[in-house]
Chain A
Amino acid sequence: MLGKTVKRCCVAVSSPILFLFSSLAHAEYGLNMTKGVTPLSREVYDLHMLIFYICCTIAVAVFGIMFWSIYHHRKSKGARPAQFHHSTRLEILWTAIPIFILVIMAVPATRTLINMEATGDADMTIKVTGYQWKWEYEYIDEGFSFFSALDAESNEIRQLKSGLDPNEMEHYLLDVDKPLVVPVGTKIRFLTTAADVIHAWWVPDLGWKRDSIPGFINESWALIEEEGTYRGQCAELCGRDHAFMPIVVKAVSEDDYFDWVGEMMVAAADANAGADREWAMAELMEKGEQVYATFCQACHQANGQGIPGAFATLVGSPITVGPIEGHIDIVLNGKAGTAMAAFGSQLNDVELAAVVTYERNAWGNDVGDLVQPATIAGMR
């Protein structure tokens, strides 16, 4: 850790110089926008480079002149002040030229923008829903959906003063438990929306980001041409863990994609299995712990004690050791005006039963009672 830091300090101090004297192409420092892997992303990249070069040219010209003047028209070099103070011809000139340049930029910009909005005739549709702080992907045509949250390892490292070294992990904060899997060479229509606050779904390699807004749906599209894993992050401040809801897109061949879909269908089928039978404490606690880790831990923490002032503790709280109905109700329907979401829409009866049971018996709450999926179903 420390060695790394020292090393980086050196790099840090030296690299501005490096940066000035060597070529700009410090690939490993990532200096420029990615070309990406879709037609759109490449168009955007080209547009970006075009306007960048135009601005550089203008800057060089304009400031070349300025600094030339600053050097030559100094009093110390005996320059006498001229007294001219206006010239209509010049004013017109330097109004007209910029306008002309702007038009040159506007043309390709308009073309690209129109392409980006052309979400029609897509081969498949994925509905992306932002939650505090994870993503839900719903395959509209195939009819299954799943949540995708920050992976366990990153989550451990990123805890305040965890003492663990982020440098040990290549995809620190850019890895998830379940990636979004899509086929290459397919025009995919993305529908972005949110369940609580505004988020923004962004994978740089796809060439755009789109806000996901509660109550509304935005449409975008992407056609990925190369197989590979593409990473991105939530790009709209969405509360405490805004930095910790990454996006991972795995682009695979058509065949692999359909195999994967097959598995997902099966999984979806037996997800709610056992909703109708009685569950034993042990199994509920076990399942509950998993559910808690993915859905509750971010706020209420692994030790259930939450964060004073921000997130309520579950240890010995009136909810978790109080009447069971109240507990189930708040988990089902959330608490308005706070970050406590309504998990009724996110979890099935088994998962809810398990997590409530877990919360009532973990961390020395030991209320002892257990909730059956049937009870949950009754309270929906």
Chain B
Amino acid sequence: MSNLSSGAYYIPEPSSWPVVGSVALCLSFVGAAIMLNGSGLGTFILGVGMAAVIYMFYSWFRDVIDESLAGRYNQQVDISFRWGMGWFILSEVMFFAAFFGALYYARIYSIPWLGGEGDGAATNEFLWSGFEAIWPLLSTPDMVIDAAQTKYTQIKAVIPAWGIPALNTAILLSSGATVTFAHWDLKKGNRTGLCWWLAATVALGFIFVGFQAYEYVHAYQDLGLTLNSGIYGSTFFILTGFHGFHVTMGATMLLVILLRSMAGHFTKHNHFAFEGVAWYWHFVDVVWLGLFIFVYWL
């Protein structure tokens, strides 16, 4: 209604999804918190919350898609979405920046100081004498003092860059290519090409996740590389973990786009949803390159 009264502009109708979303997120957080405080009830609340979140996303996007298909969006709305997606991706970049920062700080400052380099001479002499700064850090400072008393697990070996990680790099890069081919076909109006290339991208995405999962099992079972094997394990799992999570998200979104393409959505000129997801996919791609270089390789 209001979109009529607002002439050149489009304003969406009042919608219940934002509030539903807030409640759902709140439930999830509260559930998670209670769970961490060690009560099974929390796990249940968390489950309910997550379900509600998913339902909210589903319904919200359904509304948006309907409006879009009904042709109620004008150029301006499309551009608003683009700005939105762009800046959202920047915020994601900064989220990862925090963890890359932690990795950088540990490697350049804290470990060398604990090892007695630079300003750390006294630190090493009086608190961690005998500890040597090396990367990857296989045994933690407290192991050097008293291996029996340590809070952490000894790492036997770390995952070499030129095994599965390199393979995964190839997989993600090529998935970046396939999604671009899909885009070209979309702009050409070649729907079968579009769907096939998209399907390929989704497949590659999930294969990547599969390899990551395999790698984690290997790390935990054979290498003693875990979340609590000191700063190496911490940075390794927080970075690869959040990245893996983002890949899963991205692949799922691509899957939705694939289904929509098969359902005949998107036109040569109007297909922001596709592009937005594509941007996101390239973002997880680039983050992985950073990971490959700083976590696995160097």
A–B direct touch in complex (beta carbons closer than 8 A): yes
A→B interface (CB under 8 Å): 127, 191, 193, 215-217, 219
Number of interface residues, chain B, beta carbon within 8 A = 10
A127 to B123, CA, bound (A): 11
Known: A215-B127, A216-B114, A216-B127. 15 other contacts (CB 8 A): A127-B126, A191-B122, A193-B123, A193-B127, A215-B114, A215-B123, A215-B141, A216-B113, A216-B120, A217-B122, A217-B123, A217-B126, A217-B127, A219-B119, A219-B122
CB-CB < 8 A to A216: which residues of B? Answer: 113-114, 120, 123, 127
A70 to B123, CA, bound (A): 58
CB-CB < 8 A to A191: which residues of B? Answer: 122, 126
B→A interface (CB under 8 Å): 113-114, 119-120, 122-123, 126-128, 141
* Interface SS of B by simple majority: helix
CB-CB < 8 A to A217: which residues of B? Answer: 122-123, 126-127
- Closest chain A residue to B142, Cβ basis: A215
A-B contacts, 22 listed (Cβ < 8 Å): A127-B126, A191-B122, A191-B126, A193-B123, A193-B126, A193-B127, A215-B114, A215-B123, A215-B127, A215-B128, A215-B141, A216-B113, A216-B114, A216-B120, A216-B123, A216-B127, A217-B122, A217-B123, A217-B126, A217-B127, A219-B119, A219-B122
A217 to B123, CA, bound (A): 5
Most chain A CB inside 10 Å of its own CB: which residue of B114, B120, B127, B128: B127
With both chains docked as a complex, state the minimum distance between the C-beta of A335 and any C-beta of chain B, in angstroms: 14
A219 to B114, CA, bound (A): 14
CB-CB < 8 A to A219: which residues of B? Answer: 119, 122
A26 to B115, CA, bound (A): 51
A215 to B126, CA, bound (A): 10
A217 to B128, CA, bound (A): 11
CB-CB < 8 A to B123: which residues of A? Answer: 193, 215-217
With both chains docked as a complex, state the minimum distance between the C-beta of A293 and any C-beta of chain B, in angstroms: 29
A217 to B126, CA, bound (A): 8
- Closest chain B residue to A192, Cβ basis: B122
With both chains docked as a complex, state the minimum distance between the C-beta of B129 and any C-beta of chain A, in angstroms: 12
A313 to B127, CA, bound (A): 33
A276 to B14, CA, bound (A): 81
- Closest chain A residue to B141, Cβ basis: A215
A127 to B126, CA, bound (A): 9
CB-CB < 8 A to B122: which residues of A? Answer: 191, 217, 219
A272 to B60, CA, bound (A): 72
With both chains docked as a complex, state the minimum distance between the C-beta of A53 and any C-beta of chain B, in angstroms: 34
With both chains docked as a complex, state the minimum distance between the C-beta of A211 and any C-beta of chain B, in angstroms: 13
A377 to B9, CA, bound (A): 81
- Closest chain B residue to A140, Cβ basis: B126
CB-CB < 8 A to B119: which residues of A? Answer: 219
A216 to B114, CA, bound (A): 7
A191 to B128, CA, bound (A): 14
With both chains docked as a complex, state the minimum distance between the C-beta of B184 and any C-beta of chain A, in angstroms: 50
A216 to B125, CA, bound (A): 10
A215 to B114, CA, bound (A): 8
With both chains docked as a complex, state the minimum distance between the C-beta of B140 and any C-beta of chain A, in angstroms: 11
With both chains docked as a complex, state the minimum distance between the C-beta of A285 and any C-beta of chain B, in angstroms: 31
Q: What are the nearest 3 A-B pairs in CB distance?
A: A217-B122, A217-B123, A216-B123
A355 to B128, CA, bound (A): 30
- Closest chain A residue to B123, Cβ basis: A217
With both chains docked as a complex, state the minimum distance between the C-beta of B106 and any C-beta of chain A, in angstroms: 13
